[in-house]
Amino acid sequence: MATTWFITGTSRGFGRELTEQLLARGDRVAATARRPEQLDDLAEEYGDRLWRRALDVTDTARLRQVVDAAFAELGRIDVVISNAGYGIMGAAEEHTDAEVESLVATNLTASIHLARAVTPHLRAQGGGRIVQVSSMGAHITFPGFSLYHAGKWGIEGFFEAFAPEVEPFGIRTVLVEPGMIANTFYDAVQTTDPLPAYADRADIARGDVDPANLIGDQRKVAAAMIEAALAAEPPRRLLLGSDAYSMVRSALADRLAEVEAQKDLAPRTDAAHA
């Protein structure tokens, strides 16, 4: 039987790749994007198996309208993929207030609202899957990428608590944590103008990504996401890329070592401690 998917941010990157692969395998896709006309070629090829709506995910009222319409018109949605997002580089101090609020609204708040909006529908139909596109950047950090990390670390915390809340309803969640992928993400990354205090800081990311570091294959990442979403026992987290594995493993080992170093110090603040 064909599977029905709901995906945000389908005009480019992972969203576009997922939409193409899913339609090619015979599934139905409810695709949302700020400019759904960018999928005209797929609509011409696949007809009514592609359901499209314009959506700025930061418009929460519109997001709920589109979610409700998709479930009402398609009858059942098996997998929801929360993919919309973007990156911005530069020192934290250099970002404007509007840039901070915009990125958090898109990368974090909108993903939370999407999960909340689809939950009643998934519960009513007896279950489903929610796949949240995260990043190895939810475990590691690079100077100059603080806002992006804030969104990814935040959404992972949300899903860590959210997953056991909804699992009794047959709703399973997957956090996808890719490494550095050769796709359009870095082409669209916004950058700030350096403040004088940071002008000579070579350690702060500013969009000058070395193509040699983009070792991930977008097609393979999308295929792995589809496989995980359809697995009988989907992983709570899905690391994709040898760089993601090695860097996340190293970061977690360092963090655990820091925790162990506090073993004798932490109990000092217990009420019963002498």
Catalytically active residues are 134, 148, 152
Degrees, nearest 5: CA angle 222-224-228: 120
- 73, 52 contact by CB (below 8 A): no
Q: How many CB atoms lie within 10 A of CB 161?
A: 8
- 143, 186 contact by CB (below 8 A): no
What's the CA gap between 121 and 6, in Å, rounded?
12
Strands across the sheet with 28-33, in order?
A: 50-54, 28-33, 4-7, 79-82, 128-133, 171-178, 237-240
Residues 6+ apart with CB under 8 A from 64: 113, 117
Residue carrying structure tokens 């990043």: 135
What's the CA gap between 189 and 27, in Å, rounded?
31
